[in-house]
Amino acid sequence: MRSELYIDGKWVKPLRGGVCEVINPATEEVIQTIAAATAEDVDVAVRAARRAFDQDGWPKLFGTQRAKYLRAIAEAIRTRQAEIARLEVIDNGKPLPEADWDIADAAGCFDFYADLAEQLDNRPEEIISLADDRFTSKAVREPIGVAGAIIPWNYPLLMAAWKVAPALAAGCTVILKPAELTSLTALELATIADEAGLPPGVLNILTGSGSIAGQAIIDHKGVDKLAFTGSGPVGSKIMAAAARDIKRVSLELGGKSPFVVFEDADIDEAVEWIMFGIFWNQGQVCSATSRVLVQKAIYERLLARLVAETDKIKIGNGLEEGVLLGPLVSKRQYEQVVAAIEGARKAGATVACGGTRPEGFDKGYYLRPTILTDVPLDSDAWVEEIFGPVVCIRPFESEEEAIELANDSRFGLAAAVMSKDDARAERVAAAFRAGIVWINCSQPTFTEAPWGGYKESGIGRELGRWGLENYLETKQITKYVTDKPWGWYIK
């Protein structure tokens, strides 16, 4: 397992020799150290990425040629899926079947963008019809340049794939900085890209802290585009840095997504999707449906069933068979989530289940899945992202009230609705102010469909063809086609 920086096709030690510790959240043990890049390393990486883009011809390759590398990466991820999934578990804490799914998705993402890279070759130039027939005009798409991708710790390899795959497909070169808490699978990606023969400088992977390595990437004048997933406050900093140099920017930030369940819903199905919407990945999911609104007639019955099922979730080390809830990613995250539950209690909320460390765990950042009721609408627990296995649930009376409560948030990443009445479900889906809407489910995510938020949940869309657009510029080429002189100065 490599632990250095991957810059310009080589493994190198950080120039200042810094290291970060990697901690297994299930055991609290330091499992290895990795390099901590500084601005000096970022500068070397950006220069390499610039050369690969400006001189070495990566953007000039046919899409089919770039697709070959993407397919080789997808294939290698799949070949090593089991090993990479285990690495994700000891780094992030998530249960192995979830990690397995993430890694398969990451491979699928590289394949999907390989297809789109190939399609770029067949994309006809768009002819623009002009009112003036002395000119012809066409629009062409070109890669933006060097992309700086900064990703969080909740889906380490998958978030890397969501950015690296479309950027490379488009013809951009990339500097990727994984989250300091979970860099191991990104280092594996570097090994895989290297073995796939990706030309030097096309993909550079630098581990290190956000405030030093991340900040150096967003401040570097050689970077043309910033792509970020993570917290709102850091998203703001990234947008401010982008504003300074007019860098292109796409942001995928947090949410406080609602899940509206109508009285005609099947209670078992609703409970299943509510749980999947908030306890999957320990609730550390930007699109987690953390505010559940249930129509009054079924509220008490649904709540009782939800509490009973939640109490049955098997908690433990993600490598153990049958575990469905692992530890939170870090001590800091654990403490923040516990503090949020405490804050909710103080604000008057009732803890219907969970809220404490599970019995029998003296090591590891474990927390019982938690259901909060009677949560005041103006309390932090209802308004702010908790990013842990904590759901707030409350009753509503009418469709109008449900929509109003659902949209009453400064976030707008996702929203879900459950009802047997299809017309109603479609009506509510249309009324949600959110970028991702699920009907009769919550969380299933597909590489083909656009992903991103309204309001403070972000800017731009990832995945699907929208993900490729993120890394492309539009150029118009206009030609003067008449023999007649222009005749403005020279008559």
Q: Which residue has the tokens 């976030």?
A: 411
Query: Would you state the structure tokens that stand for residue 259, as one six-digit string?
Result: 């899940």
Residues 6+ apart with CB under 8 A from 203: 6, 164, 168, 173, 174, 176, 190, 193
Query: Is residue 234 part of the contact set for ligand NAD (CB under 6 A)?
Result: yes
Q: Which of 107, 186, 286, 468 is the binder for ligand NAD (CB under 6 A)?
A: 286
Residue 471: which of 74, 53, 42, 141 has the closest Cα? 141
Q: Which residues face 229 on adjacent strands?
A: 252
Residue whose entry in the numeric block shows the structure tokens 């860098």: 247
- Please, what is the Cα angle at 400 between 457 and 432, to 5 degrees? 25
> Per rule CB under 6 A, is residue 211 in the interface with ligand NAD?
yes
∠248-254-259 over CA atoms, to 5°? 130
Please identify which of the residues 252, 399, 456, 462 carries the catalytic annotation: 252
231 contributes a contact to ligand NAD by CB under 6 A: yes
Residue that the structure tokens 């309001």 belong to: 455
Q: Which stretch binds ligand NAD (CB under 6 A): 24-32, 198-206, 249-257, 419-427?
A: 249-257
In the complex, the smallest distance separating the C-beta of residue 257 from ligand NAD, rounded to whole angstroms, is 11
Interaction of residue 90 with ligand NAD, rule CB under 6 A: no
Nearer to ligand NAD, 224 or 252 (CB): 252
Catalytic residue flag (residue 125): no
Task: State the binding string over 330-369 for ligand NAD (x if CB under 6 A, else -).
Answer: ----------------------------------------
Q: How far apart are CA 310 and CA 276, in angstroms?
A: 11
Taking the complex as a whole, the smallest distance from the CB of residue 125 to ligand NAD amounts, in Å, to 36
Nearest approach, Cβ of 358 to ligand NAD (angstroms)? Answer: 21
The reply to whether 253 sits near ligand NAD by the rule CB under 6 A is: yes
Of 324, 38, 329, 44, nearest in space to 181 by CA: 329
Is residue 435 a contact point for ligand NAD (CB under 6 A)? Answer: no
Pairing of strands 135-143, 472-480: antiparallel
CA–chain centroid gap for 125, Å, is 32
Which among 109-117, 223-231, 422-430, 463-471 is the span making contact with ligand NAD, rule CB under 6 A? 223-231
Q: Shortest gap between Cβ of 411 and ligand NAD (angstroms)?
A: 10
The interface with ligand NAD within residues 122-161 (CB under 6 A) comprises: 150-154
As a whole number of angstroms, the distance between CA 383 and CA 86 comes to 35
Task: Please tell me the count of residues contacting ligand NAD according to CB under 6 A.
Answer: 25
Amino acid at 383: V
Q: According to the binding rule CB under 6 A, does residue 385 interact with ligand NAD?
A: yes
Closest CB 58 distance from ligand NAD, rounded Å: 24
What is the smallest separation between the CB atom of 443 and ligand NAD, expressed in angstroms?
13
Q: Is 412 one of the binding residues for ligand NAD (CB under 6 A)?
A: no
The Cα 85–Cα 71 span in angstroms is: 19
At residue 127, the 3 state secondary structure works out as: strand
3-class secondary structure, 105? helix
User: Nearest Cα to 326, choosing from 73, 25, 57?
Assistant: 25
- Contact status: 465 vs ligand NAD (CB under 6 A): no
- 389 scored as a contact of ligand NAD (CB under 6 A): no
Q: Between 116 and 151, name the residue whose CB sits nearer to ligand NAD.
A: 151
The answer for residues whose C-beta is within 8 angstroms of residue 132's C-beta and 6 or more apart is none
C-alpha to C-alpha distance for 306 and 352, rounded to whole angstroms: 10
- Closest CB to ligand NAD among residues 27, 231: 231
Binding mask 161-180 for ligand NAD (x = CB under 6 A): ----------------x-xx
List C-alpha distances in Å: 460 to 109, 123, 287, 432, 453.
18, 22, 15, 18, 8
> Per CB under 6 A, which region of 99-107, 224-232, 288-296, 390-398 contacts ligand NAD?
224-232
Question: Which residues are near ligand NAD by CB under 6 A?
Answer: 150-154, 177, 179-180, 209-211, 214-215, 218, 229-231, 234, 237, 252-254, 286, 385, 387
Instruction: Supply the residues annotated as catalytic.
Output: 252
